[in-house]
Structure 1
Amino acid sequence: MADTQLERSGTERAKTAGIVMVAWVALLWALEAIDIATGHALDPYGVTPRDLGELRDIVPSAFLHDGFGHVAANTVPLLVLGFLAALRGIRRFAGVVAMIILAAGLGVWLTSPGDTVSLGASGVVFGLFGYVVVRGFVDRDAVDVVVGLLIAAFYGSILWGVLPTDAGISWQAHLFGLLGGVGAAFAFRRRTRPSLVG
């Protein structure tokens, strides 16, 4: 009976995680379609550094992109990494994503060149990568350690994206998103109950 309940809860978590990520990605594509249909009316909601009024755009900027190619580049890694991160619970996942978005957005606001506008979910992708890779070690969970190592092997090449190699790509969002994800692994680590001695 206990094994059946564990299987059912695992299946339900996977189903919920899948629905959340498909809905998220569908939202990104819908927003980009609206942006293009309105002559890029949503692009000003990207982050322009060191303008106090732009702080309010930190959250929306993570959901907007510069064309369908930009959305497409983020879609598969966001689905994969988001699904793996969301398997441990949607409330925890929401907290992790919020921390990543804030870290990436503030990093861009503080350090990007002043004449730029940054937008896109790549900061979240890098953050989820950092979170999924580190989470198992922080939680001392063998399954998550193995998952993290597999993700590091498969997606590890994205770490080149934290280097300032392309003027058209916000390496700042990548770097601070990654740091936010690693920080989130610690901030939202699984709490263990102290053993009772009596």
Structure 2
Amino acid sequence: MSGSDMDRGGWSRGPVDAEQMIAEARKAFFVMFAFLAVVWLLQLANYADDYAFSRDHGVVAGDVTSLPGILSAPFLHWSWAHIESNSGPLFVFGFLAAYRGVVRFLGLSLLVALTSGLVVWFFERGDADTVGASGLIFGYFGYVVVRGIFDRHLIDTLIGVVMAASFAYMLTVAVPGTPGVSWLGHLGGLIGGLAGAWLFRDRRPRPAARSGSGSGSGSGSGTGTPALPQNPANPRADLHKELGDLGLL
């Protein structure tokens, strides 16, 4: 990472190479598209077999033989209404979780599936087969909301604030009281997403900021817009740089 990517002790300014970010976003799009395609193809087969997949490969609390279902349950659903309600949020939050790096996203997905499934396995009551992608949805949601804080990245922090304000109502089904819904699976997924934001945070070293040089460091002349000072002591320097990269300054 170059000196222009990260100020010492400050917020990440994001990758200088916009093409790299676009390439990662493109990969994230196709990963989520493929994920949803697999989920819907399995739903077709599941429906044709009277939902035998959901009965045989879900998570049953306390049943040791159902532990492998922790990895298969997120791909399965109990009805068309079930999969339809999950598909939109799964794609949106999955894409936002993946667009900074698909490899990190795959690790996050495994972690969330494990925490969601294990919470159901340990604490759910009854012998119902629990399936569905909602645990992943809650995990991706929690990850997106706090990722920017742990990565010290302004744009991701703003995305997190917007998502938290827009979808805070989702948390109402992560607490007891909604009939027919595994709130424990939702809560376990949310815990996994929050933990993943910390575990998969950006650990790259932060080099010292480059001092301003060239014509941008002077008073500015001619018809060009003078460059904003990049003094690390200026608390708004990183914000100015982010806005400038977005073309807002």
- What does residue 33 of structure 1 align with? 44
SS class of match (2:75):
coil
Q: 2:148 aligns with which of 129, 133, 136?
A: 136
- What does residue 179 of structure 1 align with? 191
- What does residue 165 of structure 2 align with? 153
**Matching of residue 11 in structure 1 with residue 30 in structure 2:** no
1:194 shift after superposition: 5.3
1:148 shift after superposition: 0.3
Query: Any runs of at least 4 consecutive aligned residues in structure 1 with deviations exceeding 2 A, and if so which?
Result: none
- What does residue 115 of structure 1 align with? 127
Letter paired with 2:77: H
CA deviations on 1:46-85 (whole Å, 9 max, x unpaired) are: 1000111111111001110011111111111111111011
In structure 1, the gaps of 5 or more residues are none
CA deviations on 1:138-165 (whole Å, 9 max, x unpaired) are: 1111111000001101111101011111
1:167 shift after superposition: 2.8
Cα distance in 1 between the residues matched to 2:50 and 2:170:
31
Indicate the structure (1 or 2) with the bigger Cα radius of gyration: 2
Cα distance in 1 between the residues matched to 2:81 and 2:206:
49
- What does residue 63 of structure 1 align with? 75
Cα distance in 2 between the residues matched to 1:91 and 1:117:
30
Cα distance in 1 between the residues matched to 2:179 and 2:161:
31
From the two aligned structures, give the one with the greater helix fraction. Answer: 1
- What does residue 95 of structure 2 align with? 83
Cα distance in 1 between the residues matched to 2:86 and 2:146:
21
**Matching of residue 54 in structure 1 with residue 66 in structure 2:** yes
Cα distance in 2 between the residues matched to 1:135 and 1:11:
19
1:29, 1:68 within 8 Å by CA — same for their partners in 2?
no
Identical amino acids, percent of aligned pairs: 39
1:123, 1:177 within 8 Å by CA — same for their partners in 2?
yes
In structure 2, the gaps of 5 or more residues are 1-15, 209-249
Cα distance in 2 between the residues matched to 1:41 and 1:195:
55
Cα distance in 1 between the residues matched to 2:52 and 2:127:
19
- Provide the TM-score with structure 2 as the length reference: 0.75
2:21, 2:100 within 8 Å by CA — same for their partners in 1?
no
SS class of match (1:42):
helix
Aligned residue pairs, count = 193
